[in-house]
Amino acid sequence: MKKAGSILLILSLSLAKAQTHRFFYEVKYKEDSTQANYQKAFTVLDINPDETKYYDNSFLEKDSVNNINKSQNTNWTAQIPVTRKKNSSKNINFAFAGDQLYSYSTEDPVEWKLSEETKKTADFNLQKATTNFGGRKWTAWFTKEIPFSEGPYKFKGLPGLIISLEDSQKQFSFSLIKSKKLDQTYDTKNILEVRYGDKPLNVSEKIFIKKSLEYYEDPYQEDRINLKKGNTIIEIDGKKYTNASDLIPLIKSEQEYIRKQNNPIELNKAIRYPMK
């Protein structure tokens, strides 16, 4: 846990007055469960006085650029951001179906089983806990030395901050690497609640799944319709297309990509995309 030694010092000096306690986690994951190598991302857990926010660190990196350029752009991320009110298990999820950003709420109680097993690192006294959540079995190590009942993504409810977390199939792992405190609550409205200059369309989870399936069925629908209407040339990724039928290989390739990259943290919510 790189830089973890500074976490306790930061917290001990600032618990009373800091408005955002920010924790950075390294995430190793497999979007395709059959792939050999892991992808890696760095994510942020902001614990504010009234709410908690979990999102990709690339949002923060983009925010610096946005402030300079007065723009509202954010990187796409495979890590679905979530926000929740303090002491609540109701999460607001932000995710794309095609080019449209959606938000939808879910109730996500996490029921932990505390273990008597403990271990000591150079930085923390840790205790083990396990849970079944999202169709996976998880093992967490938390510390009471950081008195926040929070963790990455939707994992919360332990008597201390989650330091590391991994599922039994080793598809996802989270490790706390550093923290910092901000004297003011960090405003994420231009990088999380609004992305690409657009506010998300608020729908139910059921509608989001429906929209995801609709995009999968015809991922180049707008381009295909424009070609059928007589627009003679459409350029996609530097290549020009003149007939709607020319898009068939692109459509099939996109559908195959969506089917393969379908290994979410909550495995029981993986959308069942039909073979094409």
Structural domain count, the chain: 2
- 77 and 135 fall within a common domain: yes
34 domain residue, yes or no: yes
Distances (CA, A) of 57 to 44, 53, 83, 115, 148: 6, 12, 15, 32, 20
- 224 and 161 fall within a common domain: no
The residue-averaged pLDDT of 57-64 equals: 78
- 130 and 156 fall within a common domain: yes
- Over 90: is that where the pLDDT of 59 sits? no
> How far apart (Å, rounded) are the C-alpha atoms in residues 182 and 230?
55
With tokens 């709410």, the residue in question is: 51
Q: Does 130 or 242 have the greater pLDDT score?
A: 130
> How far apart (Å, rounded) are the C-alpha atoms in residues 15 and 27?
26
199 domain residue, yes or no: no
- 44 and 127 fall within a common domain: yes
198 domain residue, yes or no: no
Which range marks the domain in which residue 46 is found? 5-193
- 46 and 162 fall within a common domain: yes
Q: Which of 159, 193, 227 is the last residue of a domain?
A: 193
- 31 and 68 fall within a common domain: yes
- 151 and 27 fall within a common domain: yes
Per-residue confidence (pLDDT) for residue 70, from 0 to 100 = 47
Say which DSSP state 87 is in.
Answer: T
Q: In which band, very low, low, confident or very high, does the pLDDT at 83 lie, cut at 50, 70 and 90? A: very high
Q: In which band, very low, low, confident or very high, does the pLDDT at 73 lie, cut at 50, 70 and 90? A: low
- 13 and 78 fall within a common domain: yes
276 domain residue, yes or no: no
- 160 and 218 fall within a common domain: no
- Over 90: is that where the pLDDT of 242 sits? no
- 157 and 222 fall within a common domain: no
CATH number, domain of 12, equals 2.50.20
Q: Give residue-wise pLDDT tens across range 139-172.
A: 999 999 999 999 999 999 999 999 999 999 999 9
| Most confident of the following: 10-24, 215-229, 252-266 | 252-266
Name the percent of the chain lying above pLDDT 70.
87
- 184 and 255 fall within a common domain: no
